[in-house]
Amino acid sequence: MKTKHYDVFVIGSGIAGQTVAKTCIKNGLKVAIADKREYGGTCALRGCDPKKVLMQFAYLMQQTKQLKANGITKMPKIDWKTVQEFKSTFTQPVPKHTESDLNNLGIDLYHQSPKFISKTEIFVEGKKVSADNFIIATGLVPRKLDFRGSDFLKNSDDILNLKKIPKSAIFLGSGYVGMEFAYMLSTMGCKVTIIDTGERPLTQFDEFLVEKLTDSMKNSGVNFIFNSIPTQIEKLKKNYKVSYKHEGAIETVKARAVFNTAGRVPAIEPLNLEKANIKHDKSGITVNDFLQSVSNKNVYACGDVSNKSVPLTPLSGLQGYIVGENIVNGNTKEFQNPLVPSVVFTYPNLASVGYTEEEAKSRYKTIKIFQGDATNWYNAKKENLNVYAYKIIVNERTQKIVGAHLLSPLACETINLFTMAINNQLTVYDIKKMTFTYPSYANDIKSMFADKR
């Protein structure tokens, strides 16, 4: 069999894979890319972008409800079919646009999962293909849960494509995907239950703020069941019955739909990594600071599937850029964990950047914590918002801000001011002397430094 050869073969057409492929072709290399699903990746097709299109309708419903006693006479009604059609205007063009964009650049496209057959060769679409560099940019897939009836579980792709809002739903897992979609469906009238094996949701976020968010969701009718392990799902006539083990006893809860939001794992299963001696573990492909496989120098991994990534779109793009540069210029760029803000897009948003309280305590001799509830501030009062809070962490010796955690309707935006402040090593004084727009959530930042915990 004749072997086709490329300088660079990319596996995965998300932000990470596309960035590498484009950098390499623009620098005169012969490039191919393969994807086993529609071209375009998770963010554009099954993640961030469609999620926020749908989510804004939940925000509108909630904001309207908050102002019901203050002049809103009729609650709006959601026509979900039209909402879905609107969302499709964002997702539907993506695969075709992505393919023609890559094609026009001269990149060869494959539509199947390749399998490694040696350290420098793969098998794809019935062909043997060799390459000087293989890039694994396959992202993550939902973690498989294994108990009786787990085949009935739906995942985040299904939530984004729901034909109608179910009357009731159970979410297994309260990470950010679970919390965001639980919030969304509950705000749209679905009776939501969240089951989690741990004792609280969103374990990587600040506890003080997570508790406030959880309480607010509970007040809106979301039922949280913690310290519980799902053991079985049974299909009834209209509902699914989920059994779970709680404090030694088996209990049950019923709903129209059950979603697996129990985390995502590296998408590496069909690749035959062993044949190419590509080291990996449960956090992904093991790479060095150049994002090159530690066990096969012909291979790089970037984006969610690399073990040096946090699963967020901006980081995947950055890693794709670094891998592209390293292939073109020969390992010149190292991946140094940048400061990355992250957001849970509930309403209010929960956003975080920099150190948590625990991390800061272990790193600095003394820290100052500015923490508070801001529900009686103007911004919250004008919206009838009953949850608005913050925690800002400062290195006491230098007065520099080292961590910021916000629970506010615009936290996804205001957290970026803290990202700039921390990146530029700004002090509390630097922030206080700045003038921001008023009234605004940005301006509230200055009031956050008024009282120390």
Ligand X SMILES: Cc1cc2nc3c(=O)[nH]c(=O)nc-3n(C[C@H](O)[C@H](O)[C@H](O)COP(=O)(O)OP(=O)(O)OC[C@H]3O[C@@H](n4cnc5c(N)ncnc54)[C@H](O)[C@@H]3O)c2cc1C
Residue among 317 and 403 whose Cβ is closer to ligand X: 317
Residue among 47 and 372 whose Cβ is closer to ligand X: 47
Residue among 91 and 371 whose Cβ is closer to ligand X: 91
CB 218 within 8 A of CB 224: yes
CB 118 within 8 A of CB 275: yes
Q: Residue 192: what are its φ and ψ, rounded to 5°?
A: -105, 135
CB of 55 to ligand X, least distance (A): 9
Encoded tokens for 106: 């001269």
Residue among 121 and 304 whose Cβ is closer to ligand X: 304
277: left (phi over 0), alpha (psi -120 to 50) or beta: left
Residue among 156 and 228 whose Cβ is closer to ligand X: 156
CA atoms 129, 134, 139, 145: torsion sign: positive
CB of 441 to ligand X, least distance (A): 19
CB of 66 to ligand X, least distance (A): 23
CB of 27 to ligand X, least distance (A): 20
Residue among 61 and 302 whose Cβ is closer to ligand X: 302
- What 8-state DSSP symbol labels residue 306? B
Residue among 171 and 244 whose Cβ is closer to ligand X: 171
Residue among 48 and 225 whose Cβ is closer to ligand X: 48
Residue in this structure with the two tokens 């001799």, named with its chain if needed: 365
Q: How far is residue 139's CA from residue 43's CA, in Å, rounded to a whole number? A: 10
Residue in this structure with the two tokens 């959530």, named with its chain if needed: 441
CB of 43 to ligand X, least distance (A): 4
Return the biggest CA–CA distance within the chain: 75
Residue among 16 and 258 whose Cβ is closer to ligand X: 16
CB of 51 to ligand X, least distance (A): 5
CB of 347 to ligand X, least distance (A): 14
CB of 294 to ligand X, least distance (A): 19
Helices and strands (H and E) in the chain: how many: 14, 23
DSSP for 175-226, please give it.
SHHHHHHHHHHHHTT-EEEEE-SSSSS-TTS-HHHHHHHHHHHHHTTPEEE-
CB of 299 to ligand X, least distance (A): 14
- Cα end-to-end span (Å), the chain: 71
Identify the H or E element spanning 57: helix 48-66
Going by their DSSP bridges, the two strands 240-246 and 228-235 should be labelled as antiparallel
Going by their DSSP bridges, the two strands 240-246 and 127-136 should be labelled as unpaired
CB 34 within 8 A of CB 4: no
CB of 203 to ligand X, least distance (A): 17
CA atoms 88, 92, 98, 100: torsion sign: negative
CB of 15 to ligand X, least distance (A): 4
Residue among 43 and 389 whose Cβ is closer to ligand X: 43
Residue among 253 and 271 whose Cβ is closer to ligand X: 271
Q: What angle do CA 264, 266, 268 make, to 5 degrees?
A: 140
List residues near ligand X by CB under 6 A: 11-17, 34-37, 41-43, 46-48, 51, 113, 137-139, 156, 177, 267, 270-271, 303-304, 311-314, 316, 345
Q: How far is residue 288's CA from residue 137's CA, in Å, rounded to a whole number? A: 15
Q: Residue 435: CA atoms inside 13 Å, Cβ hemisphere, count?
A: 0
Residue in this structure with the two tokens 């605004």, named with its chain if needed: 440
